[in-house]
Amino acid sequence: MWRHSWFRTLIGAVSLLLAPVPPAVAQEQVDVALVLAVDVSRSMSTEELQIQRRGYAAAISSPEVIRAIGMGVNGRIALMMFEWANENHAREIVPWSIIETQPDARAFADRILADTTFGQRRTSISGAIRHASALLADVPYKASRLVIDISGDGPNNQGTPVTLERDAALARGHVINGLPLMTRGGVGFQFNIPDLDDYYRHCVTGGPASFVLPVVEWAQFPDAVRRKLILEIGGWIPVGPARVIPAQITFGPPYDCMVGEKIWQRLRRQYFWDP
């Protein structure tokens, strides 16, 4: 009897080993996984923060962006948005979402508009890139391209030097595009630099088909975001309007990518250390 029991146990174990393994759940395929990283530092006024939020909502739900999504191989993208300021502030506004139809886009836009933003101290573009790159590394979809869309109105002035985080993201295969906001307003206007578009081109952006699209007036913002999304969704190299600057251009004299940190140190000496 003991032999029969042992034999049945052995047969059961062999059956378990030979049983077919259920296939893993396949990840949904998307044309691009796109992280929207939105600056909420105090160098932007409350009104500007609201313009920015409404501009993103309008662009994402626009017919032109929906049409661009539909032209992709898979006809869908993965999108998420978070706000950033100092190196410890990265707050999710909308989690990873599939955008395939107008209702998908409208739902995403509604969540943007329903959220409330309060300006935060300091500007850590490097922290924003690091956070966005980590999100792309764990994106729950299978994406043909991994893109960080980062907007901001001043240079990095806190945390790791921005070029180090940029280079780390590019080494992971991530593309970084920039939307420098060359406007004036907010309490931190003293951190603004006149050539923020050049700063983004030299120090922030990079990767295949990457580009910089400057905004010099807030009235331009919704249209700029819409154009930027269309380029990112299609993976197209920007051509035409001179204000859309391919990030790969590197000619000209060397650029000081620590300019923001130097401004911060100068202001600290001026306001806190000098007698």
Q: Which residues contact 45 (CB under 8 A, 6 or more apart)?
A: 185, 186, 187
**Model confidence pLDDT, tens digit, residues 122-154:** 799 999 999 999 999 999 999 999 999 999 989
In a domain, 233, yes or no: yes
Whether 20 is covered by a domain: the verdict is: no
216-260, pLDDT tens digit by residue?
A: 888 889 999 999 999 999 877 665 544 566 655 555 678 899 998
DSSP 191: G
Q: How do strand 175-180 and strand 33-39 relate by DSSP bridges?
A: unpaired
Q: Is 142 helix (H, G, I), strand (E, B) or coil?
A: strand
Closest CA to 59 of 99, 90, 22: 99
> Rounded to two decimals, what is the model's pTM?
0.83
113 within domain boundaries: yes
In a domain, 148, yes or no: yes
Give how many domains the chain has, as a whole number.
1
Instruction: Read off the pLDDT of residues 186-225 as tens digits, 9 standing for 90 and up.
Output: 555 566 788 999 999 999 999 998 999 999 888 889 999 9
One-character DSSP codes across 19-70 = SPPPPPPPPPEES-EEEEEEE-BTTS-HHHHHHHHHHHHHHHTSHHHHHHHH
Paired tokens of 148 = 């960080």
Q: Is residue 118 in a domain?
A: yes
In a domain, 10, yes or no: no
Residue numbers of the domain that contains 203: 27-249+261-267
| Mean pLDDT score, 5-24 | 45
Instruction: Report the Cα–Cα distance between both ends of the chain, in Å, rounded.
Output: 97
Half-sphere exposure (Cβ direction) of 272: Cα atoms closer than 13 Å: 6
Q: What is the mean pLDDT of the chain?
A: 83
Task: Name the more confident of 268 and 158.
Answer: 158
SS3 180: strand
Is 255 contained in some domain? no
CATH number for the domain spanning 234: value is 3.40.50.410
Domain annotation covers residue 273: no
Share of the chain above pLDDT 70, in %: 78
